[in-house]
Chain A
Amino acid sequence: MSINNNVQTVNREKSNFQVFDFLYKYGTLITIVLLLIVFGTAEKNFFQPGNIVNILRSISIVTIIAIGVTISLTVGGFDLSVGSTASIANAVIISLFVWHKQGTFLAIIIALLIAAVIGAINSFLIVKIKIPDMLLTLATMFIFQGVALTYTKGATISQNMVMPDGNFSEGQLTEAFIKIGQVPWIIIIMMVIVILVHVFLNKTKHGRYMYVIGGNKEAARLSGIPVNKYKVFAYMLSAIFAAIGGIILASRVQTAEINAGAPYLMDAVAAAYIGLSVGGAGKPNAFGTFAGSVLMGILQNGLVMLSVPYYSMDIVKGVVLTFALALTYWKKK
Chain B
Amino acid sequence: MVAKEKILLQMKDISIEFPGVKALKVVNFTAEAGKAHAVVGANGAGKSTLMKILSGAYNHYTGQIFMKEELMHITSPKAAKEKGIQVVYQEVDTTIVPYLSVAENILLDEIANGMEKKFFINWKSIYKKAEEVLKVLNINIPVKKLAEELTLAEKQMVLIARAISNQCKFLILDEPTAPLSNNETEELFKVVKDLKSKNVGIIFISHRLPELFEICDEVTVLRDGEFVISKEIKDITQNKIVEYMLGKSFNQSFEKRNFVSKENILKIENLRDKHKLKDINFHANKGEILGIAGLVGAGKTELCNAIFGASEQVTGDVFLRGKNIKIKSPSDAVKNKIALIPEERRKEGILTEESIAVNISSTDLNKFSKTLGFLNLKKEKEISLEIIRKLQIKATNVNQKVALLSGGNQQKVVVGKWLHTDAEILIFDEPTKGVDVGAKEDIFKLIRDLADQGRTVIYASCEMSELLGITDRIYTIYDGKIVKELKTDETNEEELLFYSTGGH
Contact = CB atoms under 8 A, between A and B. Distances in A.
Interface stretch (A5-13, A29-37, A189-197, A210-218): A210-218
B369 A205 contact: yes
B363 A224 contact: yes
B342 A220 contact: no
Contacts of B185: none
A222 B349 contact: yes
A204 B372 contact: yes
Given A208-B375, A212-B351, A212-B362, A222 B310 contact: yes
Contacts of A221: 310, 329-330
Interface string A210-248: 011001101111111110000000000000000000000
B333 to A, nearest CB: 7
B362 A225 contact: yes
Given A211-B354, A216-B350, A222 B308 contact: yes
Interface centre among A206, A215, A216, A282 (most CB of B within 10 A): A216
B375 A218 contact: no
A252 B331 CA distance: 45
Interface in B333-386: 333-335, 340, 342, 347-354, 358, 361-363, 365-366, 368-369, 372-375
Contacts of A206: 373
A124 interface: no
B132 to A, nearest CB: 41
Contacts, number: 73
B375 A205 contact: yes
A211 B368 CA distance: 16
Contacts of B308: 222
B417 interface: yes
A5 B460 CA distance: 49
A292 B491 CA distance: 65
Contacts of B361: 208
Contacts of B351: 212, 215-216, 219
A216 B374 contact: no
A185 B351 CA distance: 40
Interface centre among B308, B348, B417 (most CB of A within 10 A): B348
B294 to A, nearest CB: 20
Contacts of A215: 351-354
B385 to A, nearest CB: 18
Contact of A226 (B331, B348, B349, B369): B331
A223 B374 contact: no
- Interface size bracket, B side: 20 to 34
A222 B307 CA distance: 12
A221 B353 CA distance: 17
B375 A222 contact: no
Interface centre among A208, A209, A218, A220 (most CB of B within 10 A): A208
A209 B365 contact: yes
A222 B362 CA distance: 10
Contacts of B310: 221-222
Nearest to A224: B334
A204 B375 CA distance: 5
Contact of A219 (B349, B369, B373, B374): B349
Contacts of A211: 354, 358
Contacts of B373: 204-206
A190 B369 CA distance: 28
B369 A204 contact: yes
B374 A203 contact: yes
Contacts of B374: 203-205
A207 to B, nearest CB: 8
A203 B380 CA distance: 12
B363 A223 contact: yes
Contacts of A224: 330-331, 333-335, 363
A114 B417 CA distance: 40
Interface string A282-318: 1100000000000000000000000000000000000
A212 B354 contact: yes
Contacts of B331: 224-226
A221 B331 CA distance: 7
Contacts of A209: 362, 365
A93 to B, nearest CB: 30
A218 B343 CA distance: 12
A294 to B, nearest CB: 26
A223 B308 CA distance: 10
Interface in B313-336: 329-331, 333-335
Contacts of B330: 221-224
Nearest to A200: B373
A223 B417 CA distance: 9
Contact of B366 (A205, A226, A282): A205
Interface in A235-291: 282-283
Contacts of B358: 208, 211-212
A222 B342 contact: yes
Contacts of A223: 330, 334, 362-363, 417
Contacts of B350: 216, 219
A226 B329 CA distance: 9
A318 to B, nearest CB: 28
A220 B372 CA distance: 22
Contacts of B363: 223-224
Interface centre among A215, A216, A219, A225 (most CB of B within 10 A): A219
A113 to B, nearest CB: 24
A48 to B, nearest CB: 41
Contacts of B348: 216, 218-219, 222
A220 to B, nearest CB: 7
29 contacts: A204-B369, A204-B373, A204-B375, A205-B366, A205-B373, A205-B375, A206-B373, A208-B358, A208-B361, A208-B375, A209-B362, A211-B354, A215-B352, A219-B348, A219-B350, A219-B351, A219-B362, A220-B362, A222-B308, A222-B330, A222-B342, A223-B330, A223-B334, A224-B331, A224-B333, A224-B335, A224-B363, A226-B329, A282-B353
Q: Which 9 A-B pairs have the closest CB atoms?
A: A224-B334, A205-B365, A215-B351, A204-B373, A205-B369, A218-B348, A223-B363, A205-B373, A226-B331
Given A205-B366, A212-B354, A219-B347, 4 more contacts: A204-B374, A209-B362, A209-B365, A211-B354
